[in-house]
Amino acid sequence: MVKGKKFRTVKPEIRVIGIDDGFFEPHTRGKCDVVGVVFRGGCWLDGVMRTSIEIDGMDATERIADMIMHSPHFGQLRIIMLDGVTFAGFNIVDTSALFETTKLPVIAITREKPNLGNIRHALENLTFAAERWKMINSEKKIVEVPVSEKKAIFMQVTGLEEEDAKRIVSLTSTRSNIPEALRVAHLIATGLTVPNRN
Amino acid sequence: MVKGKKFRTVKPEIRVIGIDDGFFEPHTRGKCDVVGVVFRGGCWLDGVMRTSIEIDGMDATERIADMIMHSPHFGQLRIIMLDGVTFAGFNIVDTSALFETTKLPVIAITREKPNLGNIRHALENLTFAAERWKMINSEKKIVEVPVSEKKAIFMQVTGLEEEDAKRIVSLTSTRSNIPEALRVAHLIATGLTVPNRN
């Protein structure tokens, strides 16, 4: 077990990578693009990378770790941020394994509180249901982070103190309620993968 | 001929689209991705879109116009910025035609002064050499824009007063010597299209 990180100070230009998946046709076989966007803090887009994973497959953790570790940005990265832990349907990112492999703390962020009961139910229709459920890390605490008077987002933190994670989420959410790296990863992933009319 | 635009004031949040091409194997047949990135001014990334054009083909102007006009951002856009006028090899964007079709002024920006002699020479080996050369708009003024004490970039402006174009380039170049929409379009286009090791 790699020991969790504690940040003495969080630098305003901390390098984070935000990861999101693109468009895919649910319940089909095939691949789905996954995009990683490197930001310095919440302002400066430093780089973009891509990999692809199988729809409802089991390769998200490995492919994302490979993408990050082969990137020229790897040495500068301090935090991985994920748009939840389910990618391309139910191809689940095991955040503990991702942390162990990359040695980078992982913050999985969702706008709504994850409904673990629904997820467990959905997994029952898939191969490797027990393995997938284990990868969900269902016992991991879901932390509510208030981002405005009325609104909160939710995060699960791996390899990092909860208070540090809150500070990093807050510092990097410069233009909306979620960290800029995740907002932009979503825009890029969907903008590039929506069915092309041209 | 659509009349050129004159901006009374340039709003800090003016919507611009920056367009660049991705990786391709020169002198091959095939397609090359082209990415458009919408920025509000020089700070806020608003959207991403993609099309594809033929390597050394003749379809860049039409495909880029289609991509822009089919985008949900079209109504808000005020300026098109291009990374030069040659895409995917010598698939040339006819900036006059792009302006006529979209009614949006076009600023083509390069870091080095375009060498028209070299371009004309290279075109001689291609089909439609005369048409391509005409699309280059070789008589159009190349404007030098100082961006620091030692450094200048170069632009060709279509459908817009030169002074307005200078102000817009300066306003949107928040983080480097070139407008942020073009810097980020380059990062996305190359990041997503470099040969994938995974």
> What pLDDT, in 10s, does the model give residues A38-91?
999 888 999 999 999 999 999 999 999 999 999 999 999 999 999 999 999 999
In the predicted model, is pLDDT for residue B29 greater than 60? yes
Q: What is the pLDDT of residue B7?
A: 84
Residues 18-47 of A with CB under 8 A from B: 35, 43-47
Q: Does B175 touch chain A (CB under 8 A)?
A: yes
Q: Does A91 touch chain B (CB under 8 A)?
A: no
Q: Which of A155-164, B14-23, B189-198 has the lowest mean pLDDT?
A: B189-198
- In A, which residues are within 8 Å of B45 by CB distance? 45, 184, 187
Mutation choice for B interface testing from A67, A188, A193, A197 by most B CBs within 10 A: A188
Q: Does A49 touch chain B (CB under 8 A)?
A: yes
B70-to-A57, A63, B93, B95 alpha-carbon distances in Å? 33, 33, 18, 18
Question: Quick one: closest CA in A to B184, which residue?
Answer: A45
* Sole residue written with tokens 């995917």: B88
Q: What is the pLDDT of residue B198?
A: 42
With beta carbons less than 8 A apart as the criterion, state whether A191 and B33 touch: no
Q: What is the pLDDT of residue B1?
A: 56
Q: What is the pTM of this model?
A: 0.91
* Residues 6 or more apart whose Cβ sits within 8 Å of residue B18: B36, B37, B39, B81, B82, B83, B179, B180, B181, B182, B183, B184, B185
Helix, strand, or coil here: A187?
A: helix
DSSP state letters, A15-65: EEEEEEE----TT--SEEEEEEEEEETTTEEEEEEEEEEETT-S-HHHHHH
Q: Does A67 touch chain B (CB under 8 A)?
A: yes
Closest CB to B45 among A51, A187, A190: A187
pLDDT band at A198 (very low <50, low <70, confident <90, very high): very low
With beta carbons less than 8 A apart as the criterion, state whether A132 and A94 touch: no
- Number of CB atoms found within 10 A of residue B194's CB: 12
| pLDDT per residue as tens digits for the range A112-123 | 999 999 999 999
Question: Cβ contact (<8 Å) for A70 and B44?
Answer: no
Helix, strand, or coil here: A160?
A: strand
In this structure, are strands A152-158 and B15-21 parallel, antiparallel, or unpaired?
Answer: unpaired
Mean pLDDT, residues B5-19 taken together: 89
| pLDDT per residue as tens digits for the range B136-190 | 988 899 999 988 888 899 999 999 999 999 999 999 998 888 999 999 999 999 9
The rounded radius of gyration (Å) of the Cα atoms in chain A is 16
With beta carbons less than 8 A apart as the criterion, state whether A198 and B52 touch: yes
Q: What angle do CA A146, B42, B151 make, to 5 degrees?
A: 140
- What is the least distance, in Å, from the CA of B57 to any CA of chain A? 16
Helix, strand, or coil here: A156?
A: strand
- In B, which residues are within 8 Å of A192 by CB distance? 35, 48-50, 188, 192
- What is the least distance, in Å, from the CA of B2 to any CA of chain A? 25
Question: Quick one: closest CA in B to A35, which residue?
Answer: B192
Q: What is the pLDDT of residue A6?
A: 83
The torsion defined by the Cα of B31, B113, B94 and B100, in degrees rounded to 10, comes to 130
> ipTM for the complex?
0.87
Q: What is the pLDDT of residue A197?
A: 46
Across all residues in chain B, what is the average pLDDT?
92
Question: Cβ contact (<8 Å) for B192 and A192?
Answer: yes
Q: What is the pLDDT of residue A31?
A: 95
pLDDT band at A1 (very low <50, low <70, confident <90, very high): low
| pLDDT per residue as tens digits for the range A171-193 | 999 888 899 999 999 999 999 88
Domains recognised in chain B with CATH numbers:
15-193 (3.30.2170.10)
Q: What is the pLDDT of residue B195?
A: 58
Closest CB to B44 among A44, A50, A175: A175
| pLDDT per residue as tens digits for the range B46-85 | 999 999 999 999 999 999 999 999 999 999 999 999 999 9
